[in-house]
A = this chain, B = another copy of it.
Amino acid sequence: MASYTAIDNYLEDHLDESLSELSKLCAIPSVAAKNQGMDEGAELVEDMLKKRGFKVEIMPSGGPPVVFAERKGESDKTLMFYNHYDVQPPEPLELWDSPPFEATQRNGKLYARGVSDDKGHFVSRLFAIDALLAVDSELPCNIKFVVEGEEETGSNHMPDFVKDNADKLAADVCIWEFGGVDFRDVPMQTVGMRGICYVELSVETAKIDVHSGLGGSIFPNAAWRLVWALTTLKGQDERIRLPNYYENVVHPTERDKELFAALPDKAAEYKQRYGVQEFLKGVEGGADLLVQEVFEPTCTICGLTSGYQGPGSKTVLPAVASAKVDFRLVPNQTPEEVLTKLRAHLDAEGFSDIKITYNGGEPPGRTDPDDPFIDLVVNAATDIYGTPQQIVPMTGGSGPNHAFLHYLELPVATSGISYPGAKVHAPNENIRIDLYMKGAKHITRIMKDFGES
């Protein structure tokens, strides 16, 4: 086992420098949903990689540009990092305690939109690379970076990008954009992600809004049409009502259940953190809660909008209404399948007037929990966290990991700086600075172990 004293000393001595570089990246409001600051974000990422001696290309993707970078190392094996420079919209702004695009340190944490998801992960990997270069003068293995700009809107162009550039992107293993500890500070290894199909449902019942005193009993109301249509998608029993919706669902294996059973109960933590009284379908906690959380297909209303939404009353009958709806997919569902079933269902229920706009999606993807690279990453954690990573068979989130699994045939492992209080996608997104350090250290171990393996 290599000695990490010099590497760890470098990291301890250069923490503020790295956080300052991270803060600069967080100052760019690269909100993919609004197509803001994409070029600016990509260019700063490019500069940061060039500074480390990477050969960098800003590549067109059909959407925001992808930053691709590579640098040779001692061994001939290649480790790829997948990250993204785009962030979620910062709204609602009034709930932030400090401006979302001015990274602010308070109580051992750094707050900013994107500081955890995903800019902090990206910069912590550069930080690890800095330490290895400073101490060893070269990297233990070849490194490639794929840093995209539309992860938060569903990585719509990523699968084709990976497929079309499969030769250039060829690697042996992949470290995913995220990772971190659970509420006990135990590091987690997540080997799968659900898929997603994100749609906007909209309806227009008239060309202008009508005075509600005039139209209520004779004119169709877009808000009512939308509400009734939504109700046909999912009942209060949480069962998705699209015909044959569950036909391609693969249930968790015995090994999955064993891994879930080894994980701690999240019930109390979830209740406390989110202020909820009870979970859906009466599940109380333990492995049952974990299995339901990720192996149950979802249909989530993410947003509703129609008519007057300001203070007080406006007596208006809305001509238009829309909802944003997010379906999370489990193996082997696909977004294409959901779109087809959704259109057929709405038509059959008498809602041909409801328009479906596909905002993006991706299929689910999983790595074998017993893959040797998973084992390497899991065990490399022990030196940092005092315990190996614990394996999570699948997480509720989605990402383009399926493209790396399918087109590049890479095992995809996770390692990172996040924790349950990170408030990703919410106001006051933050990282714990101690975990930022641990994350960087873990990456140095992974790279060295992989180079020597």
Q: Mark A220-233, 1 if CB is under 8 A from B, else 0.
A: 11011011101100
Assembled-state Cα–Cα distance A323/B32 (Å): 29
When the two chains form their complex, are residues B279 and A314 in contact, meaning their CB atoms are under 8 A apart?
A: no
When the two chains form their complex, are residues B274 and A224 in contact, meaning their CB atoms are under 8 A apart?
A: no
**Which B residues are in CB contact (< 8 Å) with A218?**
270, 279-280, 283, 289, 292-293
**Which B residues are in CB contact (< 8 Å) with A223?**
301-304, 323
Assembled-state Cα–Cα distance A31/B171 (Å): 63
Residue of B231, B276, B314 touching A227 (CB-CB under 8 A): B231
Chain B: CB-nearest residue to A210: B274
The smallest beta-carbon distance between A299 and chain B, in angstroms, is 8
Assembled-state Cα–Cα distance A306/B309 (Å): 10
When the two chains form their complex, are residues A302 and B315 in contact, meaning their CB atoms are under 8 A apart?
A: yes
Which A269-309 residues have C-beta < 8 A from chain B?
270, 274-276, 278-280, 283, 289, 292-294, 296-309
When the two chains form their complex, are residues A220 and B318 in contact, meaning their CB atoms are under 8 A apart?
A: no
The smallest beta-carbon distance between A365 and chain B, in angstroms, is 14
A213, A296, A298, A427: residue with the most chain B Cβ atoms closer than 10 Å = A213
Does residue A39 face the partner (Cβ distance < 8 Å to B)?
no
Assembled-state Cα–Cα distance A323/B321 (Å): 12
**Which B residues are in CB contact (< 8 Å) with A426?**
208-211, 316
Q: Mark A351-377, 1 if CB is under 8 A from B, else 0.
A: 000000001100000000000000000
* Count of identical protomers in the assembly: 2
Residue of B212, B238, B301 touching A326 (CB-CB under 8 A): B212
Does residue A310 face the partner (Cβ distance < 8 Å to B)?
yes
Which A16-74 residues have C-beta < 8 A from chain B?
32-35
Chain B: CB-nearest residue to A275: B207
Interface stretch, picked from A96-104, A252-260, A392-400, is: A392-400
Assembled-state Cα–Cα distance A316/B307 (Å): 21
Known contacts A227-B231, A275-B208, A424-B211: does B33 contact A312 (CB below 8 Å)?
Answer: yes
Assembled-state Cα–Cα distance A216/B301 (Å): 9
The smallest beta-carbon distance between A194 and chain B, in angstroms, is 7
When the two chains form their complex, are residues B307 and A217 in contact, meaning their CB atoms are under 8 A apart?
A: no
Does residue A386 face the partner (Cβ distance < 8 Å to B)?
no
When the two chains form their complex, are residues B308 and A302 in contact, meaning their CB atoms are under 8 A apart?
A: yes
**Which B residues are in CB contact (< 8 Å) with A205?**
276
Does residue A154 face the partner (Cβ distance < 8 Å to B)?
yes
Known contacts A292-B218, A305-B304: does B206 contact A360 (CB below 8 Å)?
Answer: no
The smallest beta-carbon distance between A322 and chain B, in angstroms, is 8
Residue of B210, B231, B312, B397 touching A32 (CB-CB under 8 A): B312
Does residue A452 face the partner (Cβ distance < 8 Å to B)?
no
The smallest beta-carbon distance between A374 and chain B, in angstroms, is 21
11 residue pairs A–B, Cβ–Cβ below 8 Å: A89-B308, A152-B315, A212-B300, A213-B397, A215-B274, A217-B296, A218-B289, A302-B315, A303-B316, A315-B326, A315-B398
| Apart from the given pairs A213-B328, A218-B289, 10 other A-B contacts in the complex at a CB distance below 8 Å | A34-B310, A211-B425, A213-B397, A220-B280, A302-B308, A304-B309, A304-B321, A312-B359, A313-B326, A316-B426
Interface, chain A (partner B; CB < 8 A): 32-35, 88-89, 91, 152-154, 194, 196, 198, 205-221, 223-224, 226-228, 230-231, 234, 236, 238, 270, 274-276, 278-280, 283, 289, 292-294, 296-319, 321, 323-324, 326, 328, 350, 359-360, 395-398, 423-427
Query: 6 closest A-B pairs (Cβ-Cβ)?
Result: A216-B298, A207-B275, A33-B312, A213-B397, A223-B301, A303-B307
